[in-house]
Structure formats: C-alpha cells, structure tokens
Amino acid sequence: MGRLFWKFFLFIWLGQVAAVIGTGTFFWLEREQSSMRADRPRPPPPDFEAHRPPPMEFDRGGPPHRPPPPGDKRPGGPLPIFPMIAALIASLLCAAGVAWYFAKPIRHLRNAFATAAEGDLDTRVGGAMGGRRDELADLGQDFDRMAERLQALMAAQKRLLHDVSHEMRSPLARLQAAIGLARQQPGRLEDSLARIEREGERMNGLIGELLTLSRLEAGVSGPLEKLDLGELLAGIVEDARFEGAAEQVGVDFAAAPGLFVQANPELLHRAIENVVRNGLRFSPAGTSLQIEAKREADGLIHLHIADQGVGVPEAELKAIFTPFYRGRNLATGDGYGLGLAIARQVLSTVNGKIAAKMKADGSAGLLIEIVLPAAN
C-alpha cells in the first residue's frame, strides 16, 4: 500500500476518532449534569412547613433510609468506554475502506504511467476503473485517450520516416545509375547530366515539402494579414488554366465579392494551389475543374474544389490528408503525397478546415471543401 493510502486512512480515521470521542464525551457530560440537576432539592411551597413529612422514610420490610442531603452530588455514571471502543473499531474499518477506494485507481494510473514511460503504449486503465463514475474514472479515460493519441503519433512518425526513406531511395538510385552511365558512356554525358539535374531537383523539392510540413506541425506559420480571398483565387486559377490547357482540362471559377480572411498570404496560396493542382492532375482530358467560393449563412467562407476524375473510396477520404498517402484509385503522378497534408496544416493555423467528400449528386470525381473564418 502506498503513501496516499495511509494519508487517506489517517486523515479519515483521525477525523472519525475525534467525532466519536467528542460525541461520547458530550453525552456523558450531559448525563452528568442531568443527574446533578435531578438530585438538587427544590424549594418548598409556602405551606410546606405546615405539612412537612416525617424525615424518615420506610420501605416495606426494609431498613429506613434518608433522602440525600442537599449538597450531595451523585455521579451520572462511568464514561461509556466499550461503546466508544466499538465505534472506534467501526471507524477504523470505514476509514480503511474509503482510503482503499481512492488509492486503488490511483495505483492503477501510476502503474499505467510507468508502463507508458517505458514505451508500452498499449496499456489502458479504463477497464480497471470498474463501474466508477467520478473524477478518477474521468482521469483514467483521459489517460486512455492520451495513450491512443501518442500511439497514433508514434505510428505516424514511423510511417513518415519509412515513406521519406522510400521516396529518397528512388531518386538516389537513379542518380547513381546516371553517374555510372556517364562513366561507362562518355559520349552520352549530356543525357546523364540532364538526368542528374532532374533527380537533384526532385530531391530538392521533396526536402522543401518536408521542411514546410515540419515547420507547420511545429506551429511556425509566419505573420497573418487580411487578404482578399477572391484576388488570391484569381491568381491561382490563372496558373491552373495555363497548366490545364496542355492536358485539355478547363477551370470554371466563381467567387462572391468581399471575401476577406486573416492568414499568411504565401502559405494560404500554397495550400489552395496544392489542392487545385491535385485536382488538375487527376482530371481526365476534356473535363473541367470547378472552383467556387462564397460566404454561407453560418458566417464562414466555403471554398469548393471539385474534379471529374476517378474519385476516392469513401473509406479513404480522411486518409488522403496524411503524408505520402496515395489511394488505390489515384493515378501515379509526379507528386510526393504531401500537398494535401500541407494544406491541412496551413488551414489549421488559421482555424480553418479541409475535408474530402463525395459529390452530392453522385457524379464521378472528388469534392474538396475548405472552410475559413471570415475576417472582420
């Protein structure tokens, strides 16, 4: 049993001991005073002298006895030792039970924290709380949620490290192959140098995306400014139409006037551009990407970006915002799987949200909804 148990036990038991002794002493003194008042002679009535009874009293067949003199004090009885001892024993058991009731779940929590500190995040204490409905049970549930969150973060970090190593391995392998080809075939040096340059740019882009994602996860978002979302979207749409023309993909754009947000211009531009370019990449030729921004009745700005591609299974709608994720239905492209993850982190810095949804009309494609708080 730990120190907390003995502290609870002593405090509760001493309190009950004091209550028992105080209550017993109070009743004993009360009985003593009542006995003294009963033995005290009362003043006689005015005609008492004319009808004074004889001083001696006789019982049938017994010796005579006199009433107690006026100054005699009879004790009210001995102090109730045995009832008080019984009460103390009962209080001892009660204090032990209450202390055990409070100390037991705390001991489970301590063991769980010790296990988690050693790296075992599978420990849960919710089941050990039984049917409790108090603050200690809430603390156990909070521990379980914390352990689940830490476990998810650790798994995400391991997966991120694995994905980064996988993404870096491919361009490094191609770089080594290009260097080997340049040594074996000096006549094709220009082709080898071009391949080396492309792979170097690819690695540089991947490292830049990773640095951006790590800064955003660390809370480094830069200064915020009041922006006209319509103007920012107009520049993104112009670039998207230029890129989509080569793939015969159009861009339909509509934005309500007076849409102002508080955000970092560069990061918000990059976040929305990542979503738009992702939609362009998976849009078939001859289709169009639809971009619409307006302020809804809830006072928030809603930005919808919808393509007409193969879409994403409903079970993967949340997973596409995790780093390096590529869905089963997505065509292979030149991206790293970091664009949507960066967009989610950027929007979270301005209290915004991003979600992938199926289209309400049931048509093919993916709908990305971005919700931003409007600036005053």
Count CA atoms within 13 Å of residue 92 on its CB side.
6
Whether residue 108 lies in the annotated active site? no
Task: Report H helices in the chain.
Answer: 3-39, 81-117, 135-184, 189-217, 229-246, 265-281, 339-349
Q: How many residues does the chain have?
A: 376
Let me know: does 202 contact 173? Beta carbons within 8 Å: no
Residues 129 and 105 sit within 8 Å (Cβ to Cβ): yes
Cβ neighbours for 86, distance < 8 A, ≥ 6 positions apart? none
* Strands 288-295 vs 260-263: parallel, antiparallel or unpaired: unpaired
Identity of residue 322 = T
Q: Name the nearest CA neighbour of 275 among 210, 167, 211, 366.
A: 366
DSSP for 132-165? --SHHHHHHHHHHHHHHHHHHHHHHHHHHHHHHH
**How far is it, in rounded angstroms, from Cα 300 to Cα 320?**
24
Count of Cβ atoms closer than 10 Å to residue 220 Cβ: 11
Rounded Cα gap, residues 203 and 174, in angstroms: 11
| CA neighbor of 2 nearest in space, from 84, 95, 108 | 108
What DSSP line would sit under 41-92, residue for residue? PPPPPTTTTTTPPPS-B--TTS--BPPPPTT---------HHHHHHHHHHHH
User: Angle at the Cα of 316 (from 313 to 317), degrees rounded to 5?
Assistant: 90
Please tell me which residue in 65, 166, 269, 304 is annotated as part of the active site.
Answer: 166
Instruction: Return the active site residues.
Output: 166
